[in-house]
Every structure is written in structure tokens, then in C-alpha cells.
Structure 1
Amino acid sequence: MLKLGILDQSPVLTGEGAAEALRHTLALAQGADRLGYTRFWVSEHHNAKGLAGSSPEVLLAAIGAHTSRIRIGSGGVLLPHYSPYKVAENFRLLEGLYPGRVDLGIGRAPGGMPLVSQALGRSSGKEREEAFERSLTELGSFVGTGTPLETEHPLAGLSATPDVPTVPDVWMLGSSGYSATVAAKLGARFAFAHFINGHGGQSAVRDYLRHYRPGPLGGKPGVAVCVFVLCGEDDEEAEREARALDLRLLYLEQGEFNRAVPSDEEAERYAYSAWDRARIADNRSRMIVGGPATVARLLPAFARSYGADEVIVTCMMSRADRRLRSYERLARLFIR
């Protein structure tokens, strides 16, 4: 049976605000726990008013308190902005609260415009890239998946607290071959963001599995792939629901990061150009859209194309109740 997890970006819906988006995320996590999904990840975005999730660690603390079984995790913490030591302590604390349920997903994207990096006080550009693998090695030592830092390291002997008996699972998240290479080199599990880049992911995963070796971020390989999935009552309804996401992706390509998820009416009346329609057709490579019969056929084939252990599904619709129903349909198809 195909394993399914969820990535939720806390999208702000038309006519609502960020507080409502966060409440929808919490309710969705409770629903996912009830439905039997394997994991529930939340994202990190900055200076983007269309997405409410700017601090996954804080949101995960609330989600863990309102769920009982499902794994919870970051999709992901943007490590170049932060001290590896502080990230490790945040996730060791979560692991202490919710033992055996925590995933530490790591990304390297800025999560916003250059001003975000400046405001967060971390390096950018070439300096950041050169420091990334070093930060990952330090993170593994502090979070508990790696060995202690070597004696010549300036932080040798430092321990991250709390001192709890279990450790989070560490995932590298990425939409390119670079992240797959780093994950394989350092021993992390790897999740490919097909919902961001619909091309080249299968090759990245094959390279990851071919070159994987245990390292400071873990001791065994694991593969997940994240994709947009909209499962309607039938194909026709799913296509109607997908229009809001089609338009949202167009807005993002135009640099409009602060827009809410469009309403049905906005998506219907938008004056699409020929170029817009070509972009929509290309963006559909990042989605699986259909009724239950269509999704039941397409989603397992998609997972097989990656050789993935699990599919992380993400869904944006114009209304929160419709989004939940999509996840409920998926659960009926694939979760027993």
C-alpha cells in the first residue's frame, strides 16, 4: 500500500487572514492524524503574506499537542539562515515532547527575497553555499544523528539540550540534483519537491540512491517525493478546483507573493493570455488532478517512477473544507 504524508504551507485564502490559515493547518493536522497519514510537515516562508507559516518549530509544537500518532516535521527549516546549534535544540525539544514522531526537514533556499537573509542576520550568496555542508555536519553532531565534533573544532565538547533518548529523523529537501548529492554524502533521507520542479526529479533520486552512504545525518536511505494532488468527487470537479491553483502559480511566477489563494470567481474571470495558458499546461506537470479513479491510477504510477517509499501530497484549493475533502478521498483510496 502506498504511504502518504502531507505538506501544508498554511495558505491564506481569499477573504480570510493569516490567523484563519493557521487554524486551518491545525485542523488539517488533526484530520490527517485521524485518517492515518504517515506524517504532517509544515513549511517556512518569509515576507510572503499569502503563506502564514514562517516558524515551523512553533507551529509543530502546537500540532504535536493536538495529535497523537502522526509524525510531525518541517518542510523545511531553512538552515542557511540559522545557527545549527539552535536548530538542533529546537528539534531535540520537540523530540522530547513527542518522542519518535519528529522529522527535521532541512532546506537551503532563502524562503524569501534578499532582504529576508539580511533581516535574519545570516550570510548569503557564495559564502552561504560554502558554509552549508559544514553547518549540516555541525547539525548532525548537535541533534544526535552524527558523531561528536572533532577536537580541533572550535565548538568541540558542546552538547545540545535537552538530553533526550531519541533523535529526530533528518531529511534533506530539494528540487535539484545538488540537494540529492548532499543528502547522499551526509547520510540524510531525501525528499524531492516535484511540486516546485516537475522535471528531473527521478534522475536526482536515482543518483541519491546510487551514491548514498551513512553519515552525520543518518544511517539509512529514504526517499519521498512531494507533489500537488487535487482529488475531486470526479474529474470534472477536480478540474474546476484546480483553476485556483493554476492561477496562484501564475501569480507566483509574476513575483506576486502576497496574494491569497484565488477564489473560484477570480480564477473564472481572469483574462488568460496564450502565454498564461502555456504556463498552466507546463505547471500541470507538478500536479495530479482528477477524481478518485483517475488519482488511483496516476498517483501509484508517479511514485513508481521515482522509486519512492512515500508520497508527500500538498493541496491548495479555494476553500479549506474542499481541501480536507480531497485529503479524505485520498485516504479512502490508499490508507487502510
Structure 2
Amino acid sequence: MIKLGVLDQVYVSEGRTAREGLLESTRLIQAAEELGYSRFWVSEHHAMRAIAFSSPEVLVAHLAAATSRIRVGSGGIMLPHYSAYKVAENFRLLEALHPGRIDLGLGRAPGGMPLSTRALQQDKYVDVNRYPQQVLDIIGYLHESMPAGHPFEKLLASPSIPTAPEIWLLGSSGESARIAALLGTSYAFAEFFGTPGGEEATKYYLDHFESNQLLEEHPRAMIATLAICAETEEEADRLARSSDLLFLGIRTGRELPFLPSVQTAADYPYTETELQLVQQNRQRRVIGTPDQVKEGLLRLAEAYNVSEILINSPIHDPQARIRSYELIAEAFGMKEKR
């Protein structure tokens, strides 16, 4: 049976504040831990009013402190903006505070529009082609195994501890899969982005994985997808309308400053073209009753040949969102397995 986790982008819901969104995320991870979800990741996005945070490492610290068992991590840190050394220091500290529970997901994307990227990289020369070397540097820092001759060979990323966070490379393209296979890291594909070629990218990673003596001996891949579950198909469809309108705005360059309510989404005057875009987006979603969602997730796991899925559920009503995760957990018998 596949393992299930949570990807939370911590939206600011219409009619509520960023602080309320962060408190809802805290309640969600506590519910997810109780329900038996394996891990809880938070993303990195910049200058988006609809998202309540931009520093995953800070939120990871808070969420890990609010729980005791579930793995907590970044999905992910957009590494080209930052020093590999500083990222290693941050996540070694998190691992020291919560040993065996921290994941370090790394990505190459900017996580925002060009203006925020310019601000993040102000007075810096950034070459995204150095990303693989940055990943290798982080591995060396986390395991105190910098190669001989490296300019920072003897540099400690404190604190010195016996364990290290799990490293995952994130991607929505074949290039990230190639890098993850070459470096011997775990690989997570953002299936919910709707980018074509995900099955092929994951297959490439699994087929070309080269083990890294400091990391996993075998390839490990998972996907992140959007799933919304309710007792009836009609209710699941109703709840999903908020994300329909949210992602339509992102796709058409008219971002909303919040996750809209179901009523706002129902009242929106969609054009025929916009309705077609919504239907296209829906093809990449898993929406329905517990049995329908279970079937859809198992179908995705088989198509991608993965044994783990992170579920992203942008639902405006916080209780309905927790209920969605609860219904999925019940469908997979997760409580019984604990």
C-alpha cells in the first residue's frame, strides 16, 4: 500500500487573515499526525498575497514543535537564491531539534515573479547551472564529508550532530529527474502542476539512479497531487470550486489575493474559454468520494511507479479540509495500520 503525506501551501482564505491561515496549518498538521500521514511539507513562494508565508524553514520549525511524530519538511527550498552553507546550517539545526523528523526538499525554480527573484538575488551573481554543485555541497555539509580539495573542506555547518535530514530534489521536468538520478538523491515530482511528461521523468529517475554512499542506496520517488474528498461526489465538486478559480487566476495571470470561498467561485462569471481551462486543470485533480479518491490515487501511483504521494487540498473551509484528509485516511485504512 502507498504511503500518504500532506503538501500545504498555507493559503490565506477569503475573509480570513494570514495569521489565521498559519493557525489552520498548525491544526492541519496535528490532525494529519493523528490520522497517520507520513510527512507534511510546506512550499516556498514569494510576494503572493494568497499565501501566508515565504520562509519554509521558519514554518517547519514551528510545525515540528507543534507535533511529535510526523516528518516535517520543505517542499522546497529554492536553492539558487541561497548559500548552500546557510541552508545546511538551518536544516542541521532543525534536525538537532527534531532528530529523524526533518526533510530538506530542494528546487531550482524561482518561487515567484521576476521582481521578487531580483530582490532575493540582489548584489549576487546567480548561475542556476551551479544547482547540482550546490546540492552536492549541502550533502557534504550535512554529513561532514566535503571532498578533499574543496575550498570549504574543513568548514563545519553547525551544529555537529549524528543524523541528517532526508534530501529530496523537487521537479516538474525531466531535468530535475536527471540531476536527482545522477546525484543519488530522492526525487519528488510536482504532478499537480499539470506539466506533461511526469511519468517519463520519474521513470528516467528510477532507471538511471546512481547510489550515493552518503544517502539512499536505492531510488525513492514520490509525487505531489491535488486531491479533494467528501462524503458525496456533489460535495467534493462544490469544495473544489475554490481551487478551480484560484488556479485559473494563476494560469491567466490574474492572481487572486486569497483562496476564494465556494460562493465567490460559484458567482464568478466564467467565459467559455475559462471553463475549458478549468476542465483542463480538473483532469490533473483527484476529486470525489473516498472510494473515488482512493482509486484515483492508486491509479496515479501505478502510472508513476511510486509508493508515496503527498496530497495538496486547497479547501476554503478549514473543517472541510481536515475532513477531506480524514476520509482519505479512512479509505486507505491508515489508522488501523498504526
User: TM-score over 0.5 for the alignment?
Assistant: yes
Q: Does 1:75 align with 2:75?
A: yes
Q: Give, in whole Å, the separation in 1 of the partners of 2:176 and 2:141.
A: 21
Q: Give, in whole Å, the separation in 1 of the partners of 2:331 and 2:9.
A: 23
CA RMSD of aligned residues (A): 1.6
Is the contact between residue 177 and residue 201 of structure 2 (CA under 8 Å) also seen in structure 1?
yes
Q: Give, in whole Å, the separation in 1 of the partners of 2:141 and 2:255.
A: 34
Q: Does 1:135 align with 2:134?
A: yes
Match runs of 1:212-227 below 5 Å: 212-215=209-212, 218-219=215-216, 220-227=218-225
Q: Does 1:51 align with 2:51?
A: yes
Q: Give, in whole Å, the separation in 2 of the partners of 1:149 and 1:182.
A: 19
Match runs of 1:210-249 below 5 Å: 210-215=207-212, 218-219=215-216, 220-249=218-247
Q: Give, in whole Å, the separation in 2 of the partners of 1:292 and 1:76.
A: 29
1:199 to partner: Cα distance: 2.3
Q: Which residue of 2 aligns with 1:299?
A: 297
Is the contact between residue 246 and residue 256 of structure 2 (CA under 8 Å) also seen in structure 1?
no
Distance 1:271 1:233, change over 3 A: same
Distance 1:208 1:124, change over 3 A: farther
Aligned counterpart for 2:319 among listed residues 315, 318, 321: 321
Distance 1:21 1:178, change over 3 A: same
Q: Which residue of 1 aligns with 2:193?
A: 196
Give the partner amino acid of 1:74: S
Distance 1:192 1:13, change over 3 A: same
Is the contact between residue 7 and residue 311 of structure 2 (CA under 8 Å) also seen in structure 1?
yes
Match runs of 1:40-189 below 5 Å: 40-121=40-121, 128-144=127-143, 147-151=145-149, 153-189=150-186
Distance 1:132 1:89, change over 3 A: same
Q: Which residue of 2 aligns with 1:270?
A: 268
SS at match of 1:227: strand
* Ranges in structure 2 where 5+ consecutive residues have no aligned partner: none
Is the contact between residue 170 and residue 188 of structure 1 (CA under 8 Å) also seen in structure 2?
yes
SS at match of 2:286: strand
1:216 to partner: Cα distance: 7.5
Can you list the C-alpha shifts for 1:149-187, whole angstroms capped at 9, x where unaligned?
A: 331x32221111101110111000111111101100111
Can you list the C-alpha shifts for 1:179-199, whole angstroms capped at 9, x where unaligned?
A: 101100111100000111252
Q: Give, in whole Å, the separation in 2 of the partners of 1:198 and 1:129.
A: 20
1:258 to partner: Cα distance: 4.8
SS at match of 2:157: coil
Distance 1:278 1:34, change over 3 A: same
Is the contact between residue 85 and residue 138 of structure 1 (CA under 8 Å) also seen in structure 2?
yes
Distance 1:216 1:159, change over 3 A: farther
